[in-house]
Amino acid sequence: MSTGSPSSLASTKRRLTHVASHLRTPKLKVVVCRDLGPNVMPLLRDRPEIDLVVWPEDKPCERPWLLENIRGAAGVLVMLSDKVNQELIDAAGPSLKVASTMSVGYEHVDLPVVAKAGVRIGYTPDVLTDAVADLTVMLALMASRNGGEAVSLVQSGGWPSFSWSPFGLCGPQISASPFSPKRTVGFLGFGRIAQATLARLVPFGITHCLFTSNPSSTADPAFEAAIAAKYGVQVRRVGLDELARESDVLVVLAPGGARTHHVVNEEVLRKMKKTAVLVNTARGTVVDSDALARALREGWIWGAGLDVVEGEPNVTADHPLVKEPRAVVLPHLGSATIETRLGMATLAAKNLLGGLGLEEGMPAELDVKSRA
């Protein structure tokens, strides 16, 4: 058996003293709104300092259960569907120190309210960037190449009556070609995921990149030049009008919330090219669903790839967008790879432990004050 170095012995001793002092003090109540699975739950279950309460069912946590169980809690780990608002903070009482969300988005967190209550917020940036960028590209391809229509044709037994023909089920090509040498991707919102999407689209033959970002941020030509040099495409920050007019693929990657509500509306959609596709892997509220359904029905644009729809998950088969053959609609799967969800769950658990003071710092704390 290894006896360990003096410094590791000292650190073990410090940890044991820390645990012992917690054992003498009352346990910290922590509520978890969804079981995080066998790889991640032990991070919380094995902590002697914690009294863990976990929503027992494999479906979204019911609000009355959460409001009842959060009373006296020091921490809570929530999903996108659990609102962190005045009601929750009042139900928890002054003991609540931290709310950790297993998501990069935080529209479900009332920032002014948590800032006032002094509750720290953990979230999960970075770990999901690649997965969401991958799915964004998948939707861009599906929407341009009639993926939705083609899959349902085969599934409904229609292939025998669809024979290969010169232009049957053709769609616009994402890659540049002699017939369309300039291919432009436009990003509404140009953060980490948008840039990772650009990195993936360039090898496909995208030649130009336009982006529109937070109107309050100042123009930064050096940033544009750096992105252009990094990816080998022309890059320009433009206004929404130009973004709509020039993009062959228009990707929505802006945060949700009041500031971006229905930014993609009838006016924007009418300016887009008839051969353009719209992809939304951010938040459903950024796009006006009725206007988009009309744009697809009346051929203002070619197609749409949507991972998010306003009002989800209540998006049923009779939803105007689901009924559109040129819309490929997925049930919010952007981050749904096994590796990414493990990363998100682990980070959410670590943020919680850090916010409770049981680990050193929160690895990804939201700067609530600057955003409130």
- List residues binding ligand DGY (CB under 6 A): 103-105, 128, 334-335
Contact in structure between 182 and 172 (CB atoms under 8 Å)? no
Q: Shortest Cβ distance from residue 257 to ligand DGY (Å)?
A: 12
> CB burial class (10 A; 0-12, 13-18, 19+) of residue 261?
middle
Q: Give the strand pairing for 249-252 and 184-188.
A: parallel
Q: Shortest Cβ distance from residue 135 to ligand DGY (Å)?
A: 10
Q: Shortest Cβ distance from residue 292 to ligand DGY (Å)?
A: 19
Q: How far apart are CA 98 and CA 150, in angstroms?
A: 47
Q: Shortest Cβ distance from residue 198 to ligand DGY (Å)?
A: 19
Residue 108 a catalytic site member: no
Q: Shortest Cβ distance from residue 214 to ligand DGY (Å)?
A: 18
| Beta-carbon contacts of residue 130 (< 8 Å; ≥ 6 apart) | 196, 340
Nearer to ligand DGY by C-beta: 213 or 280?
Answer: 280
Q: Shortest Cβ distance from residue 334 to ligand DGY (Å)?
A: 5
Nearer to ligand DGY by C-beta: 4 or 313?
Answer: 313
> CB burial class (10 A; 0-12, 13-18, 19+) of residue 307?
buried
3-state secondary structure string across 59-106: CCCCHHHHHHHCCCCCEEEECCCCCECHHHHHHHCCCCCEEEECCCCC
Nearer to ligand DGY by C-beta: 282 or 293?
Answer: 282
| Beta-carbon contacts of residue 39 (< 8 Å; ≥ 6 apart) | 342, 345, 346
Strand residues in the chain grouped as ranges (E): 28-32, 50-54, 75-78, 98-101, 120-122, 184-188, 208-212, 234-237, 249-252, 277-280, 303-306, 327-329
Could you say which of 22, 261, 262, 332 is catalytic?
A: 332
Give the torsion through C-alpha atoms of 153, 156, 162, 166, to 10 deg: 10
Nearer to ligand DGY by C-beta: 128 or 321?
Answer: 128
Nearest residue to ligand DGY by CB is: 105
Nearer to ligand DGY by C-beta: 75 or 105?
Answer: 105
Tell me if the bond preceding 313 is cis, omega within 30° of 0.
Answer: yes
Tokens 């719209």 belong to 278
Contact in structure between 101 and 348 (CB atoms under 8 Å)? yes
Q: Shortest Cβ distance from residue 200 to ligand DGY (Å)?
A: 18
Nearer to ligand DGY by C-beta: 105 or 343?
Answer: 105
Nearer to ligand DGY by C-beta: 212 or 335?
Answer: 335
**Per-position DSSP letters for 135-173, written without gaps between them:** HHHHHHHHHHTTHHHHHHHHHTT-GGG----TTTT----
Tokens of 336: 């749904």
Q: How far is CA 350 from the centre of its chain?
A: 19
Q: Which residues are catalytic?
A: 332
